[in-house]
Amino acid sequence: MRQFTGVDKLIHSFDQALRSLVPGATAAHRENPANIEETQLAVSEARHVAGLMRVNHSGEVCAQALYHGQALTAKLPNVRREMEQAAIEEQDHLAWCEDRLKELDSHTSLLNPVWYGLSFGMGALAGIAGDKYSLGFVAETERQVSLHLEDHIRQLPEQDDRSRKILVQMNEDELHHRDTALNAGGVDLPTPVRIAMTGISKLMTKTSYYI
């Protein structure tokens, strides 16, 4: 098996970033769960749903970057493979959110490159800190993402079953990734780290809704 050089890994990381950030570059591996007929939304409802889906898309960009950064610095091969597999599964979420934004005649966040860069750096640092902390970081990230998704599901208009099906499936996947990380040896993160993650998450949520 070929051994990848530092340059190879750099090129691979750049390719992953482009696939996460360029609209239309990521294809889903699973069928979009929103396989039901569209229902009419009022203009204000469609605008609100688009804002929610834009936030969720940005959250998935962050998840991609997190996994990519951790896979780059993870020490154990099995942990690296888990990070890479989780990133592949999260690609479905990216594609589904982007499809829904197109249906709503809206767009992904212009700030996604910023969120990707920050999350990639945090993931790489978590990997350097050690695999148990890296996995703990994944578990905490997925826990917070799940809380956002549950809140957004409650905010959806009653008739918007297309968006609801996407978010429900995403939440199931996030909880599965959280449990997988904990079962693989992830540990609880220090309270200051969790507070900092929550602060960054709130900043991303408030800005990506509009931009």
Residue list, annotated binding site: 60, 90, 93, 142, 174, 177
Q: Pick from 43, 41, 33, 31: which is nearest to 160 by CA?
A: 41
Q: Give the Cβ contact number of residue 83 at 10 Å.
A: 25
CA–CA separation, 202 vs 167, rounded Å? 19
- Asked if 88 and 35 count as a contact pair (C-beta separation under 8 A), the reply is no
Binding-site residues for Fe cation sit at 60, 90, 93, 142, 174, 177
Closest by CA to 20, choosing from 74, 77, 59, is 59
> At 187, which helix (H) or strand (E)?
none
